[in-house]
């Protein structure tokens, strides 16, 4: 393969995707997750349905083709269109990549809102580490509020979308973590310095 910008970008994108998949596997191995994952059998059936698509494909194509497909989670039923952003900017390399995206429905729905809001930005850098940091922050909020109705996820997602609308750019990942920590502390949740939100 020639060493050109497109080749380097593809390699970087592939590495980011593999890292997200490894992170998900690590998270699933932990037994104390706040939001139970969608059962593997349900995700397997979803992946079988997605085989009709030609991969790589966009999130918009997935939503158009199987967006009304319902998936069962321990917390309820979700349609794929509720969990995946309807954008051409989001590319899935395989059916497994779609499963990784929707594995945690509450976080997936929040990320959908953020991705769709950032889709209108020119030159928005929402790849790799920033995306992972946003997702990790939302997952940390879900873990802190295991017994609540995910108010923290809604508040931080609203805050990010408002920053995009007001300032025309994505807030930095540290700013998102700082805002999440501020929310937690103001609502009586302890945030230790050695935790992800302990900024």
Confidence at residue 82, expressed as pLDDT on a 0 to 100 scale? 94
Beta-strand ranges (E) seen in the chain are 57-58, 70-73, 76-79, 91-92
Looking at the domain assignment, is residue 75 inside a domain? yes
Residue 193 lies in a domain: no
Going by the DSSP 8-state scheme, the letter that residue 106 receives in this structure is H
Does 195 fall in a domain?
A: no
| In-domain check, residue 166 | yes
Report the C-alpha gap between 54 and 95 in whole angstroms. Answer: 10
Give the pLDDT of residue 123. Answer: 66
Give the span between the Cα atoms of 50 and 48, in whole angstroms.
5
Strands 57-58 and 70-73: unpaired
Q: Is residue 56 part of a domain?
A: yes
Residue 72 maps to a domain: yes
Strands 76-79 and 70-73: antiparallel
pLDDT confidence band for 188 (50 / 70 / 90): confident
pLDDT, tens digit, 9 for 90 and up, residues 103-153? 889 999 999 999 999 888 866 667 778 888 999 999 888 887 655 668 899
Q: What integer pLDDT is reported at residue 8 of this predicted model?
A: 78
Asked if residue 19 has pLDDT above 90, the reply is no
Q: What is the DSSP string of 7-57?
A: HHHHHHHHHHHHHHHHHHHHHHH-S--SSPPPPHHHHHHHHHHHTTSPSSE
- Report the domain count for the chain: 1
Q: Does some domain include residue 194?
A: no
Task: Confirm whether pTM is higher than 0.85.
Answer: no
CA pair distance 180, 172, nearest whole angstrom: 13
Domain of residue 112 covers 5-186
For the segment 48-66, the average pLDDT, to the nearest whole number, is 90
Residues in the chain: 199
């Amino acid at each position: 393969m020639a060493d050109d910008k497109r080749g380097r970008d593809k390699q970087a994108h592939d590495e980011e995707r593999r890292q997200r998949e490894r992170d998900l596997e690590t998270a699933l191995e932990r037994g104390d997750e706040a939001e139970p994952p969608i059962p593997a059998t349900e995700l397997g059936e979803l992946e079988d349905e997605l085989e009709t698509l030609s991969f790589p494909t966009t999130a918009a194509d997935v939503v158009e083709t199987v967006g009304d497909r319902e998936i069962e989670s321990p917390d309820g039923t979700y349609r794929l269109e509720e969990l995946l952003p309807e954008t051409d900017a989001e590319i899935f390399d395989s059916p497994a990549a779609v499963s990784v995206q929707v594995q945690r429905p509450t976080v997936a729905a929040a990320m959908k809102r953020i991705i769709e809001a950032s889709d209108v930005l020119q030159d928005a850098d929402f790849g790799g580490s920033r995306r992972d940091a946003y997702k990790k922050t939302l997952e940390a909020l879900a873990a802190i509020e295991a017994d609540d109705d995910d108010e923290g996820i809604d508040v931080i997602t609203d805050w990010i979308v408002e920053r995009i609308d007001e300032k025309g750019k994505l807030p930095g990942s540290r700013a998102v973590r700082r805002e999440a920590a501020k929310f937690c502390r103001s609502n009586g949740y302890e945030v230790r310095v050695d935790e992800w939100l302990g900024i």
